Structure 1
Amino acid sequence: MALIAIEEHWNLPALTSAVKALPEDYGDPSVLFDEMGDNLERLHDIGDARIAAMDAQGVDLQILSLTPPGTHPLEPTRARALSERANDVAAEAVSRHPARLRAFSTLPMADPKAAVAELERAAGLGFVGTMVYGRTGETPLDDPRYDDLFAAAAALRQPIFIHPQIPSRPTRLAAYSGFDPMTDLALATFGWGWHVEAAVAALRLIVRGTFDRHPDLQLVLGHWGELLLFWTDRVDGLSRIAGLERKVSDYIRSNFHITSSGMLNPTLLRHALDVTTPDRLLFSTDYPFQRPVREGIEQFLTAFPADDREKFTAGNACALFGISLTTK
């Protein structure tokens, strides 16, 4: 049974340096997590050592995605240059390991027109989708200036992965501060804030009517839906108020795919299957921040209904991203 992992991170040192050089109000302190343990060494490698780690886990193919925050905090000129550079590096890695790697593109969201152009260029290079974040500066992803990007993604069949990002500095100060610095950061990121940010970004896109305008657009959310799957009873009430054509939960079932992000918890799987369908679920490990071992992965897969297990491990990813698996 083939296994495709779709949220597997790498890092471009020049981009990390550019983010670290930003003023505090514009930077992203979550880059500190890249330097914990041997994360940085693993993030920098998109070659033989990564393939060896995949072999150890039993992963046949990874979809590479640049680690947060991408180029979103940068001003347009730097964002354009570093997005192009990151995509060229990722494309070259895929060309070296075509049976083992694919990639999501990085887009210069500070320049919406350039983001569309880079999405088109990356699609031509063989990228299978793109990864974005819910906010660029103070501009939310659902802002009308990005509607051309969603139209292009739908036309090109390029799914958009909305990855969590750190809340804005005012939000962090108001809701996630008052402890020691590392606890503040953890609470604002992997402990809670990241996931709320991604859920709000996805929900705003629905409420904005994005999927009424672009019914073929497909999005991906990690971490079992970033809390959104657990609140459908409440968010469905937004549909009538916002004048949507369908219930919020209907858009989740028809326009969103959900990944495990290394959270191999059968309870979360069962709930996801109650909210959406087996052909909407995707496997991922969130490498290298989560590193489930082969035995743990195999044990988790036994919790998946046998008739649909191969959809989760590879079939759904192949269908969504247009992947044809080849022999190693």
Structure 2
Amino acid sequence: MTVIAIEEHWTTPALTAALQGLGEEDRDESLAFNEIGDNRERLHDIGDGRIAAMDEQGIDMQILSLAPPATGPLAAADALSLSRETNDFAADAVRRHPSRLRALCTLPMAAPGAAADELERAAALGFVGAMVYGRTGETALDDPRYDDVFATAARLGQPIFIHPQIPSRVLRQAAYSGFDPMTELALSTFGWGWHLEAAVAALRLIVRGTFDRHPELHIVLGHWGELLLFWQDRVNGLSRIAGLERKVSDYIRSNVFITSSGMFETALLHHALEATSIDRLLFSTDYPFQRPTQPDIQNFLAEFDTDEDRAKFTEGNARRLFRIDEPR
């Protein structure tokens, strides 16, 4: 059985330095998670060390994605230059390990006019999609200035992964403050806030009519759908008010793919299978922030009722969505 993991993070020393050098107002405090244990060493390695870690976990292929916050907090010129630099670096790693690696590109969303161009350039280099965030500065992902990015992604068949990000400082102060600094950070990120941010970003794209304009566009959400799969009955009420062509849940089932992000809980799997289709589910471990062992992975995969469904989850859906078997 082949296993393709599609949300596996990395970064570069140059990008790390640029992000850490930002002023307090622009700095993303979730960068602290990159420094826990040997995370930084693992994030910087997309060569032999990463391949060895994959072998230990029983992962046949990783789809690399730049660790949050990627180039999002940087000024436009820096975001553009570092996006191109990191994309070139990842493309070289894929060329060196063509049977083991693919990559999602990063886009200079602070420079909207250049983001679609970089997506097109990256696709030509062999990238299989892009990873973005729900907000760049104060600009939401569904802002009309980004519509060219989605039009280009739809035209090229490049899926867009919406990764969680830390909430704005205003929201963090209003909703997540009042505790010690690390508890506030955890509550506003992996404990809760990250996932609401990604869910809201996806929901805003639907309500904005993005998938009515670009019906061939596919987005990916981690963490079993960032809570959206649990709330479809309520969000369906938005369709009539927003003048959408279909129910919100229909867009989720037709335009959204869902990953596990290393959350190998059987209850989440079974709910996802009821809320959407097996054809929309993808395997991921969220490396190196989550590191399930090979037995952990195999035990979880045993929960599938059929070999056919298990194969779709571990490789078939990823091959189809990211066109992994097609010549580049």
- TM-score category (smaller protein): over 0.9
Aligned 8 A contact 1:258 1:280 in 2: yes
Measure, in 2, the Cα distance between the counterparts of 1:291 and 1:324.
27
**Equivalences for residues 82-121 of structure 1 within 5 A:** 82-121=82-121
Look up the equivalent residue of 1:62 and give its one-letter code. Answer: Q
Match of 1:12 in 2: 12
Match in the other structure for 2:197 = 197
Task: Give yes or no for contact 1:99–1:325 (8 Å, CA) kept in 2.
Answer: no
Residue equivalent to 1:61 = 61
Q: How does 1:1-328 map to 2 (within 5 A)?
A: 1-306=1-306, 307-324=308-325
Instruction: Give, in whole Å, the separation in 1 of the partners of 2:20 and 2:172.
Output: 18
Find the residue that maps to 2:113 and give its secondary structure.
helix
* Structure 2 counterpart SS, 1:205: helix
CA displacement 1:285-322 (0-9 Å, x = unmatched): 00000000000100100112213110000000000001
Q: TM-score normalised to the size of structure 2?
A: 0.98
Task: Supply the distance in 1 between the matched residues of 2:258 and 2:71 (Cα, whole angstroms).
Answer: 24
Structure 1 residue 16: Cα displacement: 1.6
CA shift, 1:324, in A, is 2.1
Provide the secondary structure at the position in 1 that maps to 2:126.
coil
Contiguous gaps of at least 5 residues in structure 1: none
Q: Which amino acid aligns with 2:297?
A: I
TM-score, normalization: structure 1? 0.98
The residue type paired with residue 165 of structure 1 is Q
| Structure 2 CA distance for aligned equivalents of residues 52 and 32 of structure 1 | 25
Q: Matched residues in 1 for 2:257 and 2:315: separation? A: 13
Q: Secondary structure, in 3 states, of the residue corresponding to 1:62?
A: strand
Q: Could you say what secondary structure the match of 1:258 adopts?
A: strand
- Aligned residue for 2:102, secondary structure, equals strand
1:148-198 deviation digits (Å, cap 9, x = unpaired)? 110000000000000000000111111111111111100010000000000
User: Displacement, 1:117?
Assistant: 0.6
Q: Secondary structure at the match of 2:286?
A: coil
| Residue identity matched to 2:313 | F
Deviation per residue, 1:128-156 (Å, 9 max, x gap): 00000000000000000011110000000
Q: What is the rounded CA distance, in whole Å, between the counterparts of 2:5 and 2:239 in structure 1? A: 33
The CA deviation at 1:208 is: 0.3
Within 1, Cα distance between the matches of 2:110 and 2:36? Answer: 29
| Number of residue pairs matched by the alignment | 326
Segments of 5+ residues of structure 2 without an aligned counterpart are none
CA contact (8 A) 1:224 1:259 kept: yes
Rounded to whole Å, the distance in 2 between the matches of 1:15 and 1:259 is 26
- What secondary structure is seen at the aligned counterpart in 1 of 2:231? helix
Structure 1 runs, 4 residues or longer, greater than 4 Å off: none
Contact 1:109-1:136 at 8 Å conserved across structures:
yes
Provide the aligned C-alpha RMSD in A: 1.0
State the one-letter code of the partner of 2:78. R
**Identical pairs, percent:** 72
Distance 2:230 2:89 in 1: 38
